[in-house]
Structure 1
């Protein structure tokens, strides 16, 4: 029986850990994170699933500290797997498993290497993404590809909806890859990194809407950052406006030079400088619901221009 130490977190971590166990891989050690109390924990718990299966679990602050390396080496793994673990694993850890270290990444590598690949793919208007199992190197997400699977990004899909698809793809990729990995027959495909780019992490402040964007760009931005993420926003004198759900709509009259939030009958519409618009289906202003019914009372107007808040 093959043995694997697993570094894992989030839904992908849960499903891939379960796939390993279902394939008969012995897991003597699981390394995961302690949940951050300041984070919206909307995803499943690797620690809880590991405990249900009687697996040893540790939650170090630094995965590369000497005590973790010693624990991994003591587990005598054949393989090391990282499934949405949030820290880079150093050279000593990668060398601790004689049959290789493998990572599951939430994109179709070599595209969207780096952090939060699902959110970035939606922000940039992609129509598909996926999951890729690859060998781990010191350079992030650069190792040879074992297998990958694509999933569609529909025009109104949110990041959570796409992430759910990527989770299924990750489980399927690992499930079908494991027999060849375990018997040594897997064929690896080196990445051509020139065909992709590296993307960094995102902070809540990165959710600021540029009032010069087209309606499509704003729509993609909103659905990439909506719940359970902090949301796309613009700061107004009345408070922070957050757009949580939009739908692309028809061209608008009186095309603005900066995006304008307009009350048109019983609908809120964001008119954009490219002449297109969005129906605003869910929004908050200063953390309170903003609706067509209370629009005039919140703004004392039927049109509000976004953009005075954009930093130079």
Structure 2
């Protein structure tokens, strides 16, 4: 008997997975998302009303993944697996244990490397040659659960957050398609993470995108590429003015950074997030 699956998300990465599930003729027994007024400025924020209606799937809008109404809905729909993807709230023990077999997440690094937050910007800032996406069974730790599968993504010295986000989105779709049948038929193989290889990356705030005078051209270039769309963008303070920088190009001849579009956008203008 195929398992009953629920899916919780509020960002594009999760919606892409849901769309792929329906594309490959899968089905979902419950969709969960944030209430409409919450996290409006979250990068990649999406809404599930349309896809829920199109596929006649129950849709639950919540404040927190650990709320009692979530537990009640999982029990009511007799959910076997719950996907939680692109969700900043940490699922606690009650949520993890309510589905028959547990919860599944995805993280945009090759775990156990890069546990934590801001995985896409950090991969660029750190100058990694490759990163990836890991599908894993959630436990009470942060990105510490047993691995179901991984996909590798290559980076180069020109990769931007915009490009990497799209590659991460594509890899989410690839992994969903690859492991969906194993999940619904309860045939997945779990591999423990190697704690000796584990690293944790801290969260980042918009103010961390400041380009400083003491940075090298390489450091400034990486930062600008790392926090461009869909993130808030890098910025530079010049006296009493602050400028937003979405893209730039390093000039190796004179050690300067040239703006690709030829101008800076003052921070007090309307900023696309």
TM-score by length of 1: 0.78
Alignment of 1:115-126 (within 5 A): 115-126=117-128
Contact 1:238/1:286, CA 8 A, preserved across alignment: no
Please state if 1:284 is matched with 2:265: yes
Corresponding residue for 1:153?
Answer: 155
Q: Out of 22-31 and 89-98, give the one that drifted further.
A: 22-31
Contact 1:32/1:47, CA 8 A, preserved across alignment: no
- For residues 149 and 62 of structure 1, what CA distance do their matches in structure 2 show? 29
Contact 1:114/1:200, CA 8 A, preserved across alignment: yes
- For residues 43 and 124 of structure 1, what CA distance do their matches in structure 2 show? 26
Alignment of 1:94-113 (within 5 A): 94-113=96-115
Secondary structure, in 3 states, of the residue corresponding to 2:12? helix
Q: CA-to-partner distance for each residue in 1:187-234, whole Å, 9 max, x for gaps?
A: 221111332322232221111223222211111100111233221122
Tell me the CA shift for residue 246 of structure 1.
1.1
Corresponding residue for 1:250?
Answer: 252
Contact 1:32/1:46, CA 8 A, preserved across alignment: yes
Gapped regions of structure 1 (runs ≥ 5): 253-275, 290-312
Tell me the CA shift for residue 96 of structure 1.
1.2
Q: Which has the higher contact order (CA 8 A, sep 6+)?
A: 2
Tell me the CA shift for residue 245 of structure 1.
0.9
Which one of 94, 97, 120 corresponds to residue 92 of structure 1? 94
Corresponding residue for 1:273?
Answer: none
* Cα distance change on mapping 1:280 and 1:196 into 2, 3 Å: farther
Alignment of 1:257-296 (within 5 A): 276-282=255-261, 283-287=264-268
Gapped regions of structure 2 (runs ≥ 5): none
* Cα distance change on mapping 1:223 and 1:169 into 2, 3 Å: same
Greater C-alpha radius of gyration: 1
Corresponding residue for 1:300?
Answer: none
Corresponding residue for 2:47?
Answer: 45
- For residues 68 and 186 of structure 2, what CA distance do their matches in structure 1 show? 30
- For residues 40 and 181 of structure 1, what CA distance do their matches in structure 2 show? 29
Alignment of 1:159-178 (within 5 A): 159-178=161-180
Q: CA-to-partner distance for each residue in 1:27-60, whole Å, 9 max, x for gaps?
A: 2211112354751765553343223222111121
Alignment root-mean-square deviation, CA: 2.2
Contact 2:10/2:33, CA 8 A, preserved across alignment: yes
Corresponding residue for 1:308?
Answer: none
Tell me the CA shift for residue 141 of structure 1.
0.6
Corresponding residue for 1:269?
Answer: none
Q: Out of 68-77 and 202-211, give the one that drifted further.
A: 202-211
The number of residue pairs the alignment matches comes to 266
* Cα distance change on mapping 1:181 and 1:159 into 2, 3 Å: same
